[in-house]
Amino acid sequence: MIYLLAADAILILHVLFVAFVVIGLLLIFLGKTCGWSWVRNPWFRLVHLAAINVVMIQSWLGVMCPLTSWENALRSLAGDTVYAGSFISYSLDTLLYYRAPVWAFIVCYTTFGTIVVASWIWIRPRPFTKPSGNDTI
């Protein structure tokens, strides 16, 4: 039971990661239109860019996402077939995993990553600021 719960927790984390990447980009573009200053936060933008770059590089190298590997390993330890377990895993599985040729994923991830890079040019993040001499750490 604990393995299934851990696998479901990893699946939820995986869905949240995907949502951060996809919804984050949508919010950046919407934020430009609405004048939201937080979409120019350099830390948010750097983490967002790093997240899609990790996905792109994994796809280019043919590496399976570690979250998928861990989830499958936990389901296997639980004696469960992959994604046949709980309602959570079934529901989120249909949102996250779909069947397509590998090249289609590489093209999609690369295109999305290119759009994220373009957002850095079109919607520039604020520069990282150095603390002044009076700031304490």
Across the chain, mean pLDDT equals 84
Q: Residue-wise over 17-33: b if at least 16 C-beta within 10 A, else e?
A: bbebbeebbebbeebee
- Under the banding of pLDDT at 50, 70 and 90, the label for residue 90 is low
Give the pTM: 0.77
Phi, psi of 30 (to 5 degrees): -65, -40
Number of structural domains the chain divides into: 1
Tens of pLDDT, residue by residue over 30-82, are 999 999 999 999 999 999 999 999 999 998 998 888 888 898 899 888 887 65
Distance (Å, rounded) from C-alpha 91 to C-alpha 99? 16
Inside any domain, residue 24: yes
On the question of pLDDT at 130 being above 50, the answer is: yes
Between 129 and 110, residue with greater pLDDT: 110
pLDDT at 36: 95
Inside any domain, residue 60: yes
Inside any domain, residue 133: no
> What is the extent of the structural domain holding 43?
2-122
Q: With beta carbons less than 8 A apart as the criterion, state whether 86 and 2 touch.
A: no
Helix or strand run (H / E) with residue 87: helix 87-96
Inside any domain, residue 137: no
pLDDT at 26: 97
- Under the banding of pLDDT at 50, 70 and 90, the label for residue 112 is very high
Of 43, 103, 105, 104, the closest CA to residue 68 belongs to: 105
